[in-house]
Chains A and B, each alone.
Chain A
Amino acid sequence: MKHLIINVLIAIIALWFLPLAGQAQQYNGTSGMVHIPTGEMHHEGDALIGAHFLNKAMTPDTGFLYLGEKYNTFDYYIALTPFSWIEMSYVCTERIHAKDEQTGHIKWSKDRYASVKIQPLKEGKYYPAVAIGCNDVLTSAFFKDKPDVQLYFTNVYVAATKTFTFSGNELGLTVAYRHFFRGYNAKWNGVVGGITFRPSFFPQWRLMVEYTGNEFLLGTDVLLWQHLRLQASLKDFKYVNAGLCLQFNLLGKKYRY
């Protein structure tokens, strides 16, 4: 009970500072920071179901326009790590199509995509964890040469992450190379990276700063009671993103974070 109260107090303190620091977990359910992937993976058997508020700064410059203006939206996802070396997720992102002039109702649709991430190299004492992955893998494979097909979130990447521990604190360094298939996302192409920090007194809490290729992003996340993950971030120091997810380990194992 005492441990629970301390956890809640620390979580409240952490959430209090969210507007300054933000929360983290990649918006599509795969492991990573906020907008960039890392070389790390979820634990084998981890299943996540969650939703994320996406500021208009997080969406592509095409496809998410209504009356010529970008709009805030949200996505929701389920993700699974069937083995320690592979993650899969399925994401739906809400889109506003148009307004029905007769009824006044907004027409909604969803952009759906699948993500796959594979870790060929686990982290060692002297070398980093390396992961490769792809968002929107199915349409990427079949329609990459057709300009009229929606590939709003399609990208491929390779990421490397090395963590260092000192006095129980954990510092992670990530460098990744990412390529989006469509020109309207080209601003996020190239070398990206970030730094994460987990304090020894509450390792379920993670602080991070990352460079997305176009802007900097501050974020934080916290895992409460081993199942509830909250996340938030500030993109370009002013655009708020936030989300939450439920996390379970289908093998029945318990992890601190």
Chain B
Amino acid sequence: MFHINTSSRYRSLFVGFLALIFLAGQPQAKGQDTSPGIDFFSGINFSFADMNFYRQYDVLLHLTPGFKWNMGNHWQLTGQAMIPIINTFGEEYKYVQIGAFNISKEMRISKSYLKATVGVFDMYRYGADLKAFVPLSDRLAFEGQAGYVGVLYFDSSAHLYKPDRFVWTVGGDIYLPRWNTQFRGTVGRYLYQDFGCEAEAMRHFNHTTVSVYGRWSGEYGLDGGFRIVIMLPPYHRKHRAVNFRPASNYRMSYTVMYKSYANCMYHTDPEQNERDGWFSRDLLHWGSHTMEPDFIITNKTEQQ
């Protein structure tokens, strides 16, 4: 089964996003990690759940090969496949899925930073997404995200449903540079149409970020947990036109109550994480981006 059904409302939104992308101003700086070139990378997506009396944990291990084509000026085409390697979660998880296949553009307009993305995201979603980040000072910033998405997933055939869900979050960030500590609070309407809020406290260490969070969903109630983001070596890399590397980070998110439909939001970038945030380091110098960089990337040509 494969069917596409788009509405005029979606087409209008899509055209609007494209217009916004093309009308945007040029970025203010070129980034060391966003120099033109294509990166091929792979990591693993490791999920485990304590839901079975006869096993320590149910395990779902995906291999996640992908690519990022930085086209310059913060244009990026990215793609990722989710290939199940080990699966004790159930039959519905045995199929290869698309983790990402989208084009994005980061930009700065006045004091605001925007990132627009169109294409396929994770969480079996596709559509259009816009993120905004507005630093008020070195310590305070506002953020927002909005998306209009539909469902896309694969089993023995492809299933594509027209976009019908508008999701959004707004919130604020407080960063304390002396302690490399960040507080983040958001409210919003999430992927399963539940209203809710989330508060998170992060401590950024060398190459690692650890956070605890609490959240509330009007539909599913209270929950909480912790997250760990580890930036993976090698930390010194050479930049070439074509690069092969491991995934930039390993991200683990633990939830106490396992309310899998509560406060859900898709990721547009396959390497998106709480430490790096939404924007490239060379474009947005705020929060953990003011710390020593995790990766020192030297240009192959310059080195020669």
Residues of B close to A213: CB separation below 8 A: none
Q: Are B212 and A250 neighbours in the complex by a CB distance under 8 Å?
A: no
Beta-carbon contacts of A71-104 to B below 8 Å, as 1s and 0s? 0000000001011000010100000010010000
Whether A83 contacts B203 in the complex (CB less than 8 A), given A88-B212, A90-B226, A138-B256, comes out as: yes
B210–A108 touching, CB < 8 Å: no
Q: Which of A161-206 contact B (CB under 8 A)?
A: none
The answer, yes or no, to whether A63 is at the interface (CB within 8 Å) is no
A82 to B208, CA, bound (A): 11
Stretch at the interface among B27-35, B48-56, B97-105, B107-115: B48-56
In the bound complex, residues from chain B placing their C-beta under 8 Å from that of A256 are none
Contact B212 A97 (CB under 8 A): no
A82-B54 Cα distance, complex, nearest whole Å: 35
Query: A45 contacts the other chain (Cβ, under 8 Å)?
Result: yes
A45–B254 alpha-carbon span in the complex (Å): 20
Q: Which residues does chain B contribute within 8 Å of A107, judged by CB atoms?
A: 53-54
- The reply to whether B205 and A45 form a contact with Cβ atoms under 8 Å apart is yes
Q: Does A254 contact B (CB under 8 A)?
A: no
Whether A109 sits at the interface, judged by CB under 8 Å, is yes
Does A251 belong to the interface (CB within 8 Å)?
Answer: yes
Report the minimal beta-carbon distance from B189 to chain A, rounded to whole angstroms: 27
Q: From residue A154, how far is it (CB to closest CB) to chain B in Å?
A: 16
Q: Is B157 an interface residue (CB 8 A)?
A: no
A124 in contact (CB, < 8 A): no
Does A110 sit at the interface, judged by CB under 8 A?
A: yes
Closest CB in chain B relative to A92 CB, distance in Å: 8
Question: What is the bound-complex CA distance between A83 and B207, given in angstroms?
Answer: 17
Count contacts on B: residues with CB < 8 A to the other chain. 16
Residues of B within 8 A of A112 (CB): 256
Of all chain B residues, which has the CB nearest A80? B210
Expressed in whole angstroms, the Cα–Cα distance for A107 and B52 within the complex equals 9
Whether a CB of chain A sits under 8 angstroms from the CB of B206 is yes
B179 interface residue, CB < 8 Å from A?
A: yes
A105 at the interface (CB under 8 A from B): yes
Chain A 36-78 residues near chain B, CB threshold 8 A:
45, 47
- Could you tell me the distance between the alpha carbons of A121 and B226 in the complex, rounded to whole angstroms? 27
Contact status of A82 and B226, CB under 8 A, knowing A105-B54, A251-B205: no
Question: Taking the complex as formed, is A252 at the interface, i.e. its CB lies under 8 A from any CB of chain B?
Answer: yes
Give A54 Cβ to nearest chain B Cβ, in Å: 16
Q: By CB atoms of chain B within 10 A, which of A45, A82, A90 has the most?
A: A82
Residue of B nearest to A92 (CB): B50
**Given A82-B203, A82-B210, CB of A110 within 8 Å of CB of B50:** yes
Which of B50, B179, B224 contacts A83 (CB under 8 A)?
Answer: B179
Contacts from B to A (Cβ < 8 Å)? 50, 53-54, 56, 179, 203, 205-208, 210, 212, 224, 226, 254, 256
Task: Give 18 A-B pairs besides A110-B50, A250-B206, A252-B206 with Cβ atoms closer than 8 angstroms.
Answer: A45-B205, A47-B208, A47-B210, A83-B203, A90-B226, A105-B54, A107-B54, A108-B53, A108-B54, A108-B56, A109-B50, A109-B53, A112-B256, A250-B205, A250-B208, A250-B210, A251-B205, A251-B206
